[in-house]
Structure 1
Amino acid sequence: MDTVLIVGGGPAGLFCGLQAAGVGRRIVVLEKKNACGRKLLITGTGQCNLTHGGAVSEFLPHYGDHGTFLRPALMNFNNLDLIRFFADHGVRTITEPQGKVFPESRKATEVLDALLNCCRERGVEVRCNEPVQEVRREQDGFLVRTEASTYHADSLVIATGGASYPATGSTGDGYRIAGSLGHTIAPVAPALAAVMVDGYPFADLSGISFAGVTISLFRDTKRVRQHTGDLLLTHHGLSGPGILDLSRHILPGDELKVSFLPDMNRDGVAGDLNARIAANGTRLVRTVLAEYQLPERLVRRLVEMAGIPADMTAAHLAKEGRKHLITLLTECPFVVKNLEGFEAAMVTRGGVDLSEVNAKTMESRLVPHLFFAGEVLDIDGDTGGYNLQAAFSTGALAAKKIAAGTRR
């Protein structure tokens, strides 16, 4: 009988285990914490955004530059397959208008219970409180040593997650193990993380949000990315899905420029604002700006940042003041101090180099019978269920190869 060891009891590891279970295979999941799925339980503020609606082909752009690597995994086990799996195991789901898919109960515990119950039903051994200390490649498999035991495995799956939310057990162990077996680790950093801003001017406006703003990323004065999404002002900087999704590309020292009027370009805003000012000369500048349906507190702050007195009327607004206002409305600049750290970031950017992993099987190109699943890979998705779908899909693909290769 073949022994398959899976390091990590998160969604990728558990799903790989239950999918690989079958005659001729002993499946053992090793989890370092005293319970599995700790990070799963806090996803979506405990509501567990499982996946996203829509065609699976639409998923690929939501993984940055590495989406094409996931194509075989997503085609093998897609979002509809995932929804069907959980429905078959008693977890009904609902899809929000924006496409996010949640358990109908809005409880991540229900999702984790379904995974663990299925593991038990299929004979998967789940062993908690067993952090892996050492992995060695042997001629006929792998020697894995934990604090409690030593195991021999015919196949090994690394599904340890990344380095975000370390309190849940994701502390980068998989990178250490993969590196010890000869794999290259792409530099890791927080992703899906809020941005801290140098000289941030909106600390007292925390909580104000905007739908569908345009966010441009500049590095060395050159625009390198542009993204449209929702924005949230925080006490220290910028957050919201638009910022979180862009964060995988953001570095300290970069400049973000936000258009609070995304349906109009700079020239359009200039022409429109000039027309409004000409038609409303006796009204206050901030009153004219309020017609753009922007929050009043933001309008007051932008007027202040433009150096315009609060009691100035439109007729008295000089050309330079108009230009400054137009810039703040369409290209409001923010210099990035840093991103939130791993303790707050939702996922990890970087990980096991994808060029060393077979995208069609999730097996290592360097070490036979070594597999990777989930966030330990150099893949991070947008908010909206894309990261959990990647975890389930890569786990399922690794399991498919493992099951096909079992010696009878």
Structure 2
Amino acid sequence: MNADLIIAGAGPAGLFSAVQAAENNENKKIIILEKNSSAGKKLLISGSGQCNLTHAGDISQFFDHYGENYNFLMGPLYTFDNHQLMKFFKDRGIKFRKARGGKIFPESNKASDILNVLLKEAKARGIKIIYNTPVENVKYKTGRFKIKTADKIYKSKYFLLAAGGKSFPRTGSTGDGFQIASSLGHNIIEPQPALAPVIIKNYQFKMLSGISLKNKEVSLWRKENLIKSWSGDLLLTHQGLSGPGIINYSRYMQKGDIIKVMLLNYSKEELENNLLKKIEREGKLNLLNLLIKFPIAQRLIEKILEIAEIDGSQNAAHLTRQERKEIIEIFSNLEFKIKSLANFNQSMVTKGGIDLSEINPQNMESRIISNFFAAGEVLDIDGDTGGYNLQAAFSTAFLAGSELKERL
């Protein structure tokens, strides 16, 4: 079957690029091949089904939220920013709300509303979506792409890859796009879980699962060298650590790294002085009752004392110098050794993908094969939580679709 444009993947990047390409091209044949029985499966679970579409911040502030590859996104994000993305959906009846931290959600809290707009636009522009049709391989010869599926071969001058990454494979994101891009000569940066909780070696806080640590100073160490430090909210889980202060920085973490958490916003010297003053004033209290005056969950303090083998029922005044030093050390640097990152079933996005040096950031076209485009998570882009990944998907799709609109 011949077409003017074939797109692999009916997620947000595939659908939006198709909608852009089809504008004023009603007579052109645009086909999306989708492996699932319906479109946008991953979009429907984004933001716990509420769809955190983008972020309310100024677009210039977005670049701090994409790790080391933020430079590539300068063209896409400035060309099609968060306000333009919201306007596209507002013009089609979607109202938005701003949540804590600047996250933008549809007012209805339904990801399906966002997907339905994309599907309606695709239908109105004559775009054909063929479901239950995974792409098996793609070949390029004499200026044409030959796209093979289980029962058909599609031929097209233009091909756009928007097959997603490897996270949440139950939604169809199983890395197919990486194999296709590789077969066309592209280098693939090794895909790894990103926006992932971490599993901790010899974890001793399983029974404290659910305790949150708000706005803590965190540092990442590798072979006694500081890799990165930041502040954020953490969550103790039954296997390790999660929360924005972990998952947003998981792209930098490796097996064997040490995470250190400051439980209190004091230097060691300040903490020691504070503790000594408390003991001087209230030394008759037992140690646990004295320590819970610090803003740390009681169950966590109890566990720390248990691990340190310090008797919390003793009078605080009886605390030895060595015990005091140990408490100060743990409160200042609670250490966790990374056993592994959670797998792709638990990671929100994929780190790695098509090498960005091989893609033109002005139009998302391959620098290796003419008329081959890529958009969305199949690229080596991963953003923080907060709407940054969907914004990147829509912005790269807009550039690809706009370029194709001119060429069709």
Q: Shorter-chain TM-score: what band?
A: over 0.9
Q: Which moved more, 1:301-310 or 1:102-111?
A: 301-310
Partner of 1:138: 141
Aligned to 1:224, the other structure's residue is in SS state strand
Tell me how far apart the structure 1 counterparts of residues 279 and 191 of structure 2 sit (CA, whole Å). Answer: 50
- State whether structure 2 residue 186 is matched by structure 1 residue 177: no
Runs of 4+ in 1 over 6 A off after TM superposition: none
Tell me how far apart the structure 1 counterparts of residues 273 and 9 of structure 2 sit (CA, whole Å). Answer: 58
Tell me how far apart the structure 2 counterparts of residues 248 and 30 of structure 1 sit (CA, whole Å). Answer: 31
Partner of 1:35: 38
5 Å-filtered alignment, 1:84-163, equals 84-163=87-166
**Aligned counterpart in structure 2 of residue 73 of structure 1, from 50, 61, 76:** 76
* 8 A contact 1:307–1:321 mirrored in 2: no
**Aligned counterpart in structure 2 of residue 384 of structure 1, from 383, 386, 398:** 386
Q: Which moved more, 1:179-188 or 1:222-231?
A: 222-231
**Aligned counterpart in structure 1 of residue 269 of structure 2, from 248, 267, 270:** 267
Partner of 1:347: 349
Q: Which moved more, 1:380-389 or 1:274-283?
A: 274-283
Tell me how far apart the structure 2 counterparts of residues 324 and 360 of structure 1 sit (CA, whole Å). Answer: 55
Deviation at 1:373, TM superposition (A): 0.5
* 8 A contact 1:43–1:108 mirrored in 2: yes
* 8 A contact 2:59–2:81 mirrored in 1: yes
Partner of 1:338: 340
The letter for the 2-side match of 1:11 is P
Aligned to 1:216, the other structure's residue is in SS state strand
The letter for the 2-side match of 1:284 is N
5 Å-filtered alignment, 1:6-405, equals 6-21=7-22, 22-23=24-25, 25-261=28-264, 263-405=265-407
Tell me how far apart the structure 2 counterparts of residues 327 and 142 of structure 1 sit (CA, whole Å). Answer: 62
Alignment TM-score, normalising by the size of structure 1: 0.97
* 8 A contact 1:31–1:129 mirrored in 2: yes
Tell me how far apart the structure 1 counterparts of residues 54 and 235 of structure 2 sit (CA, whole Å). Answer: 23
Tell me how far apart the structure 2 counterparts of residues 5 and 192 of structure 1 sit (CA, whole Å). Answer: 31
CA-to-partner distance for each residue in 1:8-34, whole Å, 9 max, x for gaps? 111111111111113253221110011
Report the aligned-residue RMSD: 1.3
Tell me how far apart the structure 1 counterparts of residues 18 and 223 of structure 2 sit (CA, whole Å). Answer: 47
Aligned to 2:270, the other structure's residue is in SS state helix
* 8 A contact 1:51–1:100 mirrored in 2: yes
CA-to-partner distance for each residue in 1:122-179, whole Å, 9 max, x for gaps? 1111111110011001112211111132111111111111001111000000100000
The letter for the 1-side match of 2:282 is N
CA-to-partner distance for each residue in 1:189-226, whole Å, 9 max, x for gaps? 11111111111111000011122112211111111011
* 8 A contact 2:3–2:31 mirrored in 1: no
Q: Give the aligned length.
A: 405
Deviation at 1:359, TM superposition (A): 1.0
User: Percent sequence identity over matched residues?
Assistant: 44
| Structure 2 runs not aligned, ≥5 long | none
Counterparts in 2 of 1:25 and 1:319: CA distance versus 1, 3 Å: farther
Tell me how far apart the structure 2 counterparts of residues 318 and 126 of structure 1 sit (CA, whole Å). Answer: 72
Tell me how far apart the structure 2 counterparts of residues 277 and 371 of structure 1 sit (CA, whole Å). Answer: 66
CA-to-partner distance for each residue in 1:370-402, whole Å, 9 max, x for gaps? 111011111100011111111101100111111
Tell me how far apart the structure 2 counterparts of residues 89 and 173 of structure 1 sit (CA, whole Å). Answer: 32
Deviation at 1:279, TM superposition (A): 2.3
The letter for the 2-side match of 1:132 is V
The letter for the 2-side match of 1:92 is K
Tell me how far apart the structure 1 counterparts of residues 257 and 100 of structure 2 sit (CA, whole Å). Answer: 34
CA-to-partner distance for each residue in 1:250-281, whole Å, 9 max, x for gaps? 111111011122x3233322222222222221
Tell me how far apart the structure 2 counterparts of residues 363 and 271 of structure 1 sit (CA, whole Å). Answer: 60
The letter for the 1-side match of 2:195 is L
Q: Which moved more, 1:191-200 or 1:311-320?
A: 311-320
Aligned to 2:279, the other structure's residue is in SS state helix
| Structure 1 runs not aligned, ≥5 long | none
Tell me how far apart the structure 2 counterparts of residues 157 and 227 of structure 1 sit (CA, whole Å). Answer: 38
Aligned to 2:251, the other structure's residue is in SS state helix
Tell me how far apart the structure 2 counterparts of residues 256 and 176 of structure 1 sit (CA, whole Å). Answer: 34
Tell me how far apart the structure 1 counterparts of residues 270 and 140 of structure 2 sit (CA, whole Å). Answer: 63
Deviation at 1:321, TM superposition (A): 1.2
Tell me how far apart the structure 2 counterparts of residues 339 and 332 of structure 1 sit (CA, whole Å). Answer: 19
Aligned to 2:129, the other structure's residue is in SS state strand
Aligned to 1:94, the other structure's residue is in SS state strand
Tell me how far apart the structure 2 counterparts of residues 255 and 53 of structure 1 sit (CA, whole Å). Answer: 33
Deviation at 1:2, TM superposition (A): 6.9
Alignment TM-score, normalising by the size of structure 2: 0.97
The letter for the 2-side match of 1:184 is N
Aligned to 2:310, the other structure's residue is in SS state coil
Tell me how far apart the structure 1 counterparts of residues 268 and 401 of structure 2 sit (CA, whole Å). Answer: 52
